[in-house]
Homo-oligomer: A and B are copies of this chain.
């Protein structure tokens, strides 16, 4: 197999790992199972990833992709992000944020994972900040953090309670904070 053919196989392995890791937890899923579900032998899987840890990190890295941009007012984009959250909540198999879950599960002593998750959350916060700057806010830092806290809180609450309505609560709170900062949707 040529190198050019490796990428799709890597993708297939990562799709399988994603599904299993996210649904059952990272430590609960063995390499044998991932290989079997991906339709390759364990021996071949270790040709693509040198260790389970490398596979875990690749699985988490995939989530650090930028959010889509919708052509609307900044405040509407922000509230739209909470609507998107609610749609995610209502999808079957939602089980919280994979990155937060990984940090929670792997615990102390797994610094690479924490670092990937921190980078991801910083990106999300920067997205809020960029929207607020677009809207003309001169000091968007504090508000961007607060919006991030609302979405993180909604994700954690949804994971525990299973009630997708929490997204609506987060959206309403975000609207109050935005209005209090002088922004209207």
Interface, chain A (partner B; CB < 8 A): 23-25, 27-28, 93, 95-97, 99-101, 103-109, 114, 117-118, 121-122, 142, 145-146, 148-157, 159-162, 166, 169-170, 172-173, 176-177, 180
Asked if A149 and B172 sit within 8 Å, CB to CB, the answer is no
Asked if A104 and B104 sit within 8 Å, CB to CB, the answer is yes
Chain A interface, DSSP helix/strand/loop, else mixed: helix
Residues of B within 8 A of A177 (CB): 173, 176-177
Q: Which residue from B28, B156, B176 sits with its C-beta under 8 Å from A107? A: B28
- A99's nearest neighbour on chain B, judged by CB, is B160
- A121's nearest neighbour on chain B, judged by CB, is B160
Whole-angstrom distance between the alpha carbons of A99 and B105 in the complex?
Answer: 12
Q: Which residue from B101, B149, B176 sits with its C-beta under 8 Å from A104? A: B101
Q: Which residue from B100, B108, B166 sits with its C-beta under 8 Å from A145? A: B166
Chain multiplicity (copies): 2
Most buried by B among A97, A99, A145, A155: A145
- A141's nearest neighbour on chain B, judged by CB, is B169
Asked if A159 and B100 sit within 8 Å, CB to CB, the answer is yes
Whole-angstrom distance between the alpha carbons of A151 and B157 in the complex?
Answer: 10
Whole-angstrom distance between the alpha carbons of A91 and B26 in the complex?
Answer: 27
Residues of B within 8 A of A108 (CB): 23-24, 93, 95
Asked if A146 and B121 sit within 8 Å, CB to CB, the answer is no
Most buried by B among A100, A114, A149: A149
Residues of B within 8 A of A162 (CB): 114, 118
List 29 A–B pairs whose Cβ atoms lie within 8 Å, in order of A's numbering: A23-B108, A24-B109, A25-B104, A27-B28, A28-B106, A93-B108, A95-B107, A95-B108, A100-B104, A100-B159, A101-B104, A101-B105, A103-B160, A105-B105, A118-B162, A121-B157, A122-B161, A142-B172, A145-B169, A146-B150, A146-B173, A149-B173, A150-B153, A150-B173, A153-B154, A155-B156, A176-B176, A176-B177, A176-B180
